[in-house]
Amino acid sequence: MTECRICGGEVEEFLDLGRQPLSDAFPRPGEVEGEFFYRLAVGRCLACTMVQLMEEVPRERMFHQDYPYHSSGSSVMREHFTRTALNFIDTELTGADPFFVEIGCNDGVLLRTMAESGVRHLGFEPSGGVAQVARERGARVRTEFFEEATATAVREAEGPADVIFSANTICHIPYLDSLLRGVDALLAPNGIFVWEDPYLGDIVEKTSFDQIYDEHFFLFSVRSVQEMAARFGFELVNVERFPVHGGEIRYTIARTGARTPSAAVAELRAQEDARGLAEPEVLQGFASSVSRIRDDLVTLLRSLRAEGKTVAGYGATAKSATVTNFCGIGPELVSYVCDTTPAKQHRVTPGVHIPVEPHEVFAASYPDYALLFAWNHAEEIMAKEQEFRDAGGRWILYVPEVRVA
């Protein structure tokens, strides 16, 4: 039996995505031996309904000195984090000496605004390379994992935090018990812990199964977050929906009784209950839709190759590792993947080893079709790549279904 990492209840598996590599580990050609693999499967806790991976990947394997993802790589995300920082400054960080802490600050895209505004702040970022970029942008950063011991040390040295924030990080952390005890130790009595992550409801509705990979250990819903918060002396007091990263929820929790929950919490919880989001039948239906997308995508790619068409991938995202490895898509179906991240270029994708090329290769000789792995940035990318469309290029998308655009 697999035990729930939140409540210790039994976790029942509903989806197996097979043998998978680390999603953000791009080996050099010729250096693929010894690549780490694990079984990517997802289950639901029968007690607290938390959806989670059945197998944990050691955190040191995922988040390290050469971790390649940079939050500031997208203009949409840069704007999103700037707005987020300014909103906190206007609403929560209004005291004499406010203190803001970010868990998983990455390259400092949000903390830069805090630094420029003179707000006392601290970021936690265990991946050394992106942490150094954040420091160069003026942010204060500890190259450590946020957990009970490190949070307690910060409280003793710098006092309580008014806001603890995290984006696309909390779902990465299997040891949420230690993290939430750390939040309890560091947070001011009336402070708030705010985080945003992919939303289970959107993943099920869109069949965006590529949101499931090694780094996304938990898939949160309002119900499961309420259950989790209550176990650690907190209460869910607000939820906000955002379109970024394919659909996310920003959760705000506070100490129980410290704040009045907004109507949005009850409204979204009621929607989940009406949809049966935590019910086994709904999750099994999601699993069936995932298999259908796999079959349709592979059939399309094989047909295009049989016709002599060229297909390239667009965006060497962490999500793409789930798609290519689950579907068995390698260089014989997708010639290369273009990406603007230098740390990924001239390497190969995890597991299936499709070459990763700079964007200039894509622009120099357009393929007939581009498989859009970075579908969550579709609007931004398609607007930027109008010349590809003008040259006769077509986009292949697979969320919520396989189609050519």
Angle at 136 between CA 135 and CA 137, to 5 degrees: 85
Number of domains in the chain: 2
Same domain, 99 and 217: yes
**Among 280, 298, 317, which residue terminates a domain?**
280
Same domain, 382 and 328: yes
> How does pLDDT run across 213-232, given as a tens digit for each residue?
998 999 999 999 999 999 99
pLDDT for 281: 97
pLDDT for 70: 57
> Residue 17 domain-assigned?
no
Same domain, 267 and 295: no
**Among 223, 246, 280, which residue terminates a domain?**
280
**Among 242, 259, 280, which residue terminates a domain?**
280
> How does pLDDT run across 86-141, given as a tens digit for each residue?
999 999 999 999 999 999 998 898 999 999 999 999 999 988 888 899 899 999 99
pLDDT for 58: 83
Beta bridge partners of 15: 42
Report whether pLDDT(322) > 70.
yes
Report whether pLDDT(245) > 80.
no
Q: Where are the beta strands (DSSP E) in 283-389?
A: 311-314, 337-338, 356-357, 369-372
Same domain, 360 and 335: yes
* Mean pLDDT score, 259-288: 97
Report whether pLDDT(84) > 90.
yes
Q: What's this model's pTM, rounded to 2 decimal places?
A: 0.91
> Residue 187 domain-assigned?
yes
Alpha-carbon distance 184 to 160, whole Å?
A: 10
Which region, left, alpha or beta, applies to residue 207 given φ > 0 means left and ψ of -120 to 50 means alpha?
Answer: left
Same domain, 130 and 245: yes
Report whether pLDDT(63) > 60.
no
* Mean pLDDT score, 246-254: 92
* Mean pLDDT score, 136-162: 96
Task: List the CATH number of the domain containing 190.
Answer: 3.40.50.150
Q: What is the mean pLDDT of the chain?
A: 94
pLDDT for 188: 98
At residue 125, φ and ψ (nearest 5 deg) are -150, 105
Report whether pLDDT(383) > 80.
yes
Report whether pLDDT(64) > 50.
no
